[in-house]
Amino acid sequence: MEEIKVFCPATIANVSCGFDVLGLALESVGDEMVVRKIDEPTIRIRKIIGQELPLETDKNVAGVAGLALLEKSSCSHGFEIEIYKNIKPGSGIGSSAASSAGAVWAMNQLLDTPFSPLELVQFAMQGEKLASKVAHADNVAPAIYGGFTLVRSYAPLDIVPIHTPNELYATVVHPQIEIKTSDSRKILKTNITLEKGIQQWGNLGGLIAGLFTEDYGLIGRSLEDHIIEPIRSILIPEFEHVKKAVMEQGALGSGISGSGPSIFALSKGLETATKVAGAMKAIYAKTDLDFDVHVSKISSKGVQPITKKA
């Protein structure tokens, strides 16, 4: 195989109580990417459609992630990448992760899969480091593994796939202001009280237990963030109004998607998730902000090939 076209899913990181360790992949939102072999032993970004992003390999997250893989590979050739961006940078749903994960997953396929998913996450984390100054894995892990993933440890890296209930849906609203992950990290406190830590650990454990047991009530009760959300939410217009409105429509819970400004809500069933989308639209329609709303199942797969229709 000389060329492959892939779908690279958008992701929701943190999921309220799991800062830097928990994430999920979306089924219906994502980028597309074409990766092909070239004779030169390098990574070349051929074109980017949809967003203005750097074509220079060392300034592009897909290029940096690809170079990390190439450095560990024994192959004598390189790769050329085309990126079709549907996820806006700075939206909070894993734009850089989609590019980073998509590039290394596709390259691995063209090399007959010498690298494990865990190794692919490590390569993709280098793209995240370029984007946010921190090599975090809470977006790239679900982008590669699919579903929910838990980063149990960063040193050494340990990724745990988490069961996803079949009726669980995500609704995401993106008010179109840009919040860079690197900037949103600067405002966070580096110390927390023991009381806040206990609340957060309990919610993270409760959320994972709720996912495995398909206890939607427990999932909802656990979608609370006592550490990050109170600080970052001040950067997001209408945040508290959205949180209240989605609960009135039956959402299990809601929070900031990644570093924001996107807000996510989880619901049981498509009907409720659609009502939640309507509530989000109604709030932002009264502002002068442009916005996008997505309703999606949690994807059971991460990056995956796009097959040509017959």
DSSP labels, 13-61: ESTTT-TTTEEEEEEEEEEEEEEEEESSSSEEEEEEESS----SGGGSH
The active-site residue, picked from 128, 224, 229, 238, is 128
Q: Has residue 7 been placed in a domain? A: yes
Would strands 43-49 and 78-84 be described as parallel, antiparallel, or unpaired?
parallel
pLDDT for residue 182 is more than 80: no
Instruction: Please report the pLDDT score of residue 310 as a whole number.
Output: 43
Residue 59 has pLDDT above 80, yes or no: yes
Annotated catalytic residue 128? yes
Q: Which of 61-65, 166-170, 282-286, 305-309 has the lowest mean pLDDT?
A: 305-309
Peptide bond into 261 cis (omega under 30): yes
What is the full DSSP assignment across 150-173? EEEEETTEEEEEE---TTEEEEEE
In a domain, 76, yes or no: yes
Report whether pLDDT(184) > 70. Answer: no
Are residues 27 and 146 located together in one domain of the fold?
yes
Q: What is the pLDDT of residue 29?
A: 94
Which among 146, 162, 178 is the end of a domain?
162
Say which of 11, 171, 181, 272 is annotated catalytic.
Answer: 181
Q: Is residue 303 situated within a structural domain?
A: no
192 and 106 within one domain: no
Average confidence (pLDDT) over 163-179: 92
The predicted pLDDT at position 259 comes to 86
Query: Average of pLDDT values for 237-247?
Result: 97
User: Is 309 among the domain residues?
Assistant: no
- Show the domain range for 193: 168-297
Cα 174 from Cα 263, distance rounded (Å): 7
Tell me what the mean pLDDT of segment 115-137 comes to.
Answer: 95
**Mean pLDDT score of the chain, rounded to an integer?**
94
Both 23 and 128 in one domain: the answer is: yes
CATH code of the domain in which 172 resides: 3.30.70.890
Domain boundary among 142, 162, 182: 162
Per-residue pLDDT, averaged over 142-169, amounts to: 97
> Domain count of the chain?
2
> Do 24 and 144 meet the contact criterion of CB atoms below 8 Å apart?
no
Are 48 and 138 members of one domain?
A: yes
147: nearest Cα among 267, 310, 36, 297? 297
Residue 153 and residue 228 share a domain: no
Q: What is the mean pLDDT of residues 53-74?
A: 96
pLDDT digits (tens, 9 = 90+) for 85-100: 999 888 899 999 999 9
The domain boundary, picked from 107, 129, 162, lies at: 162
Instruction: For helices 270-284 and 239-248, give the axis angle rounded to 10 degrees.
Output: 150
Angle at CA 118, nearest 5°, toward 2 and 98?
60
Same domain, 71 and 204: no
More confident residue, 104 or 259: 104
pLDDT (0 to 100) of residue 140: 98
What is the maximal distance between C-alpha atoms in the chain?
Answer: 59
